[in-house]
Amino acid sequence: MKTILRFNNVSKHYDNGVHALKNISFNVAEGEFISIIGPSGSGKSTLLRSINKLIDISEGSIYLDNVNVSAQKGKNLRQLRRKVGMVFQNYNLVYTLSVFQNVLHGCLGTISGFRGIFGLYREADKIQALELLKELGMEQFCYNKASDLSGGQKQRVGIARAVMQNPKLLLCDEPIASLDPSSAKTIMDLLKNMTHKRRIACIVNLHQLDVALKYSTRIIGLSKGEIVFDGPPQQLSDTVIERIYNTSRENLMMGENNIDDVENNKDTADCA
Ligand code: ADP
């Protein structure tokens, strides 16, 4: 399988002295669905944001589709970033615009600035945007303002916009942290199905251990900026979980709404 991403001995020191990533190395192949887990402050967000150079790393190298990310700037960096779709916890939509226009923003990087400013999208892009909205069960909201949607619906638009980019890699930073369990299940199912179908590699930062166990083909566990586990969910033992979170599996599941408790019926998905 083709390797999309390589981390070679990556470290990150912030200016305030925090050593957020310590000698991180791993590869990601096409089609993998990877969850990054770890307690707050373990470095998940720093790791994810260094992939498309939203954060500059201090040491080591990151190769995205065989291109050294750190060495890119200007036009080359913009071109490289087109290969990476992003899905955010707080959706990052333009709320004054329609759902359709928000999805079309995914292809802004591929049209001229002039066309972008005047919303002169290609016919093929409009068709792709509509098809994506249909696939996400959102076509009836096409002309609604993004501000009028529920959290789960906003996130579906966020996914459509990211997939519209035709990315090789999708980065999702806590995509379900603001959602109720029913919407969270819808979003995780959609993320998994849509990336699987297109062979897009997906890296998801999650703080819900049960969700990571259920959906991932591979889990990377971070503790204080170091990788303490990298393997399939079946191999994530209670001992390793305690090492990552400094607490037991039972404590982590306790009081959390289990995504498996959500009945997967169409009504639920429609109002997500
Ligand atoms: P997580 O996503 O797992 O919560 P982060 O990557 O956000 O972890 O943070 C890792 C460490 O880096 C934490 O100690 C955090 O306080 C620190 N950190 C994150 N961003 C910055 C920043 N911009 N400046 C200084 N320290 C930061």
- 207 with 222: CB under 8 angstroms? no
Q: What is the pLDDT of residues 181-196, one digit of tens each?
A: 999 999 999 999 999 9
Q: What length does the chain have?
A: 272
DSSP 47: H
Is ligand 1 within 6 A of the CB of residue 109? no
Question: What pLDDT sits at residue 71?
Answer: 95
Tell me the domains of the chain and their CATH numbers: 35-56+77-271 (3.40.50.300)
- 181 with 149: CB under 8 angstroms? no
Lowest mean pLDDT among 26-30, 117-121, 231-235, 246-250: 117-121
Confidence of residue 116 (pLDDT cuts 50, 70, 90): low
Report whether pLDDT(114) > 60.
yes
CA 79 – ligand 1 centroid, Å? 27
Nearest CA to ligand 1 atom 13: 41
Strand-pair category, 226-231 with 169-173: unpaired
Is ligand 1 within 6 A of the CB of residue 42? yes
Other CB atoms closer than 10 Å to residue 27's CB: what's the count? 12
- The beta strands (E) that lie in 18-58 are given as 19-29, 33-37
Other CB atoms closer than 10 Å to residue 1's CB: what's the count? 10
- 60 with 5: CB under 8 angstroms? no
Report whether pLDDT(265) > 50.
no
Q: What is the pLDDT of residues 55-88, one digit of tens each?
A: 999 999 999 999 999 999 999 999 999 999 999 9
Radius of gyration of the chain (CA): 19
Candidate of 12, 14, 171 to mutate for ligand 1, largest count of ligand atoms within 8 Å of Cβ: 14
Is ligand 1 within 6 A of the CB of residue 17? no
CA 60 – ligand 1 centroid, Å? 18
Of ligand 1's atoms, which has the minimum distance to the CA of residue 40? 4
* Nearest C-alpha neighbor of 26 from the set 196, 228, 175: 228
Of ligand 1's atoms, which has the minimum distance to the CA of residue 225? 10
Of ligand 1's atoms, which has the minimum distance to the CA of residue 47? 6
* Nearest C-alpha neighbor of 184 from the set 163, 159, 162, 155: 155
Nearest CA to ligand 1 atom 14: 41
Is ligand 1 within 6 A of the CB of residue 44? yes
Is ligand 1 within 6 A of the CB of residue 14? yes
Confidence of residue 247 (pLDDT cuts 50, 70, 90): confident
**Greater confidence, 251 or 4?**
4
Is ligand 1 within 6 A of the CB of residue 16? yes
Show Cβ contacts of residue 210 under 8 Å, excluding neighbours closer than 6 positions.
Answer: 253, 256, 258, 259, 260
